[in-house]
Amino acid sequence: MTTTEPLSTGGTDRTGYPDRTGTFHPFGDAAEEQRVRADDRAHVFHSWSAQAQIAPLPVAAGEGSTFWDYDGNAYLDFSSQLVNLNLGHQHPDLVRAIQEQAGRLTTIQPSMANDVRGELARRIAEVAPGELNSVFFTNGGADANENAVRMARRVTGRRKVLSMYRSYHGNTSTAIALTGDPRRWANEPSDGSVAHFFGPYPYRSAFHAASVEEEGQRALEHLEQVIELEGPQTIAAVLIETIVGTNGVLVPPPGYLKGVRALCDRYGIVYIADEVMVGFGRIGEWFAVDAYDVVPDLITFAKGVNSGYVPLGGVVISDAIAHFFDDVSFQGGLTYSGHPLACAAGVATFEVFERDGILERVRDLGSRIIEPTITGWLGSHPSLGEVRGRGLFWALELVRDRETHQPLVPFNAAGADAAPMNEVAAACKAAGVWPFTHFNRMHIAPPLVITEDELRRGLDVIDDALGVADRYAA
Ligand SMILES: Cc1ncc(COP(=O)(O)O)c(C=O)c1O
């Protein structure tokens, strides 16, 4: 299939934006922008930040793959906000579904049955692999992981959970303990019964592997050693991102995930796939495990399930685990579990995906446009060490030296150390593209409804911006 038809796109003829009361303001209304900025700076305490060192961009409007600041500068959203905005800003079907749901039943507590909650759970079960047929809804990804771990612990009677270095699993106590990146450091000790292992990362192999296949094999041998040394009888679950997201779009080598499945089976360990970032179409599959032909015991999701229009996450549960709780009470719950507004947007997401062929579209745009374009850049940009990904989820690994793989900026760089990456990002923003950068990498993760023209335009901007990185490269 080729994708030529524009889907939901931000028009270029936008001249302003409505405020909360519906009053229209032309772009450039400095008083309005000042008001938004002042309230934010005086009263909003932001995530993961030194509060005096940030300058949040006041955003006036969003549509399709574009959002605008109060001066009317348009940004092509190449990070889908936090890689959650899969159907773009203000998708009319999702907005309508939320409005209609609000008009008939805004909320109902989780112990009652509700039509959209049930329909969304059924639709998720229908596309989930294997015998994963039950859904526990949460408010987001962290609490999805938190509850998945709780299920695994109860079912196995074991406590320890293994997860990867270079991972992010969320900001609740167990989820942040499972996280294998610097966001965990300030939050320790949290849940002590967590151990980390190295996943496959061929470009920066912890195993001195010479090929992708060898990397996968050695990473499995390492995982088995960790299981042995931690004590299989103490391990409730292995929890991994199917494709590691924020920490590098690390695509698993052929056979790796099947090997993880086999190890979990051998030692009676629950396999939890964290698909918070990669589920719901990001790589052109409902669930990313489908691309690797493996069936986990539990899959956690959030973000793309309804593009984050109303907070929603959850755990898809295998029949075996669900039946364990037939006569044993599951000790977990949330006031907003399966919130009707969020579920209505989730049902609408399924309708849009099916009607507009979103999964096929993602695979097509990824293989026909992104992959050949960015692979071609390896020939023209000395700062580009490697490109990897699939669907609409890619990483550009920026380096100072292609021989040694020395990253463009150090691991977890801040301040002056991070300047080269900040300059690349600034060049993108100045040319109207909002990029996703993390450490020495730029990720490409636009909304799945991005038009072909928008995608090519954004890639052209990144191509130019890489010229900034090239100046630091040997
Ligand atoms: C792979 C993964 N798991 C879990 C989370 C946490 O999700 P949330 O922020 O909705 O709690 C994230 C968030 O980025 C994520 O990328």
DSSP assignment of 260-282 equals HHHHHHHHT-EEEEE-TTTTTTT
Residues in Cβ contact with 261 at an 8 Å cutoff, skipping those fewer than 6 apart? 271, 294, 295, 296
Q: What is the pLDDT at residue 191?
A: 85
CB atoms within 10 A of CB 154: 18
Q: Provide mean pLDDT across the span 457-462.
A: 98
Q: Does the pLDDT value for residue 412 go beyond 60? A: yes
Q: Does the pLDDT value for residue 58 go beyond 90? A: yes
Q: What is the pLDDT at residue 2?
A: 42
Ligand 1 mean position to 1 CA, how many Å? 31
Q: What is the pLDDT at residue 11?
A: 60
Q: Does the pLDDT value for residue 43 go beyond 80? A: yes
Q: What is the pLDDT at residue 13?
A: 78
Q: Provide mean pLDDT across the span 18-34.
A: 93
Q: What is the pLDDT at residue 192?
A: 84
Q: Provide mean pLDDT across the span 284-294.
A: 98
> How many residues comprise the chain?
474
Q: Provide mean pLDDT across the span 34-63.
A: 97
Q: What is the pLDDT at residue 436?
A: 97
Q: In this predicted model, what pLDDT tens digit does every residue of 231-245 receive, in sequence order?
A: 999 999 999 999 999
Q: Say if ligand 1 is within 6 A of residue 454 CB.
A: no
Q: Say if ligand 1 is within 6 A of residue 308 CB.
A: no
340-356 and 92-104 helices, crossing angle to 10°: 150
Q: What is the pLDDT at residue 12?
A: 61
Q: Say if ligand 1 is within 6 A of residue 340 CB.
A: no
Ligand 1 mean position to 25 CA, how many Å? 35
Give ∠ CA 392-393-395 in degrees, rounded to 5. Answer: 135
Q: In this predicted model, what pLDDT tens digit does every residue of 94-121 receive, in sequence order?
A: 999 999 999 999 999 999 999 999 999 9
Which of 83, 184, 303 has most ligand 1 atoms within 8 Å of its beta carbon, as the pocket-test mutant? Answer: 303
Q: Provide mean pLDDT across the span 352-366.
A: 98
Q: Whose CA is nearest to atom 4 of ligand 1?
A: 169
Q: Whose CA is nearest to atom 8 of ligand 1?
A: 141
Q: What is the pLDDT at residue 9?
A: 52
Q: Say if ligand 1 is within 6 A of residue 245 CB.
A: yes
Q: Provide mean pLDDT across the span 415-438.
A: 97
Q: Are 68 and 17 in contact (CB under 8 A)?
A: yes
Index of the ligand 1 atom closest to the CA of residue 170:
6
Query: Of 9, 16, 15, 24, whose CA–CA distance to 65 is shortest?
Result: 9
Q: Does the pLDDT value for residue 5 go beyond 50? A: no
- Looking at residue 198, its amino acid is F
Average per-residue pLDDT for the chain: 96
pLDDT level of residue 40 (50, 70, 90 thresholds) = very high
Q: Say if ligand 1 is within 6 A of residue 63 CB.
A: no
Ligand 1 mean position to 404 CA, how many Å? 32
Q: In this predicted model, what pLDDT tens digit does every residue of 75-88 receive, in sequence order?
A: 999 999 999 999 99
Ligand 1 mean position to 381 CA, how many Å? 32
**How is residue 125 written in tokens?**
């079960």
pLDDT level of residue 281 (50, 70, 90 thresholds) = very high
Q: Say if ligand 1 is within 6 A of residue 276 CB.
A: yes
pLDDT level of residue 3 (50, 70, 90 thresholds) = very low
Give ∠ CA 216-219-223 in degrees, rounded to 5. Answer: 140
Q: Provide mean pLDDT across the span 197-225.
A: 98
3-state secondary structure of 133: strand
pLDDT level of residue 189 (50, 70, 90 thresholds) = confident
Q: In this predicted model, what pLDDT tens digit does every residue of 148-172 receive, in sequence order?
A: 999 999 999 999 999 999 999 999 9
Q: Say if ligand 1 is within 6 A of residue 312 CB.
A: no
Q: Provide mean pLDDT across the span 244-265.
A: 98
Index of the ligand 1 atom closest to the CA of residue 140:
10
Tell me the C-alpha to C-alpha distance, in Å, between residue 152 and each of 105, 128, 189, 233, 297: 34, 19, 21, 13, 9
Q: What is the pLDDT at residue 82?
A: 98
Which of 276, 312, 443 has most ligand 1 atoms within 8 Å of its beta carbon, as the pocket-test mutant? Answer: 276
